């Protein structure tokens, strides 16, 4: 159990820091964040106008979500010993987590959009 938690936290910190360095702290990448796949999914699914939310906030939210999704998937995959089963279960967990985490983020942006109106 300690190994699972350790794997989760190390992976989360590593992915989050890499995303911060390569996306959030670079202005060029930050300006393109609203055209990313994740944000386009949220915009279309919840019919949002994200002009009232800063690019930096969106980039930080996406960095957190992606780090959480990847870390949880990796940590849960380490519980399985069979490689083929690991890949299959990892793919299923990944899809489910993407839908859940970005649905939560979309609901938060919807609430924020209502507050700004």
Q: How confident is the model at residue 16 (pLDDT cuts 50, 70, 90)?
A: very high
At 25 the pLDDT is 85
Identify the CA nearest to 14 among candidates 88, 52, 70: 70
Classify the C-alpha dihedral 59-36-14-24 as positive or negative.
Answer: negative
In angstroms, rounded to a whole number, what is the distance separating the alpha carbons of residues 8 and 91?
17
Question: Residue ranges per domain, the chain?
Answer: 2-116
Here the tokens at position 52 are: 């009232």
At 117 the pLDDT is 66
- pLDDT tens digits along 34-74: 888 889 989 899 888 888 888 889 999 999 999 999 999 99
pLDDT over threshold 80, residue 102: yes
pLDDT over threshold 80, residue 106: yes
In angstroms, rounded to a whole number, what is the distance separating the alpha carbons of residues 93 and 73?
6
């Amino acid at each position: 159990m300690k190994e699972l938690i350790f794997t989760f936290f190390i992976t989360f910190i590593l992915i989050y820091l890499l995303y911060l360095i390569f996306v959030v702290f670079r202005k060029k990448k930050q300006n393109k964040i609203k055209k990313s796949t994740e944000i386009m999914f949220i915009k279309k699914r919840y019919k949002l106008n994200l002009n009232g939310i800063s690019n930096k906030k969106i980039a930080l939210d996406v960095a957190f979500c992606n780090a959480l999704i990847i870390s949880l998937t990796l940590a849960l995959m380490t519980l399985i010993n069979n490689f083929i089963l690991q890949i299959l279960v990892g793919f299923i967990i990944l899809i489910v987590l993407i839908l859940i985490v970005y649905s939560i983020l979309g609901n938060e942006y919807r609430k924020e959009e209502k507050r700004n109106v």
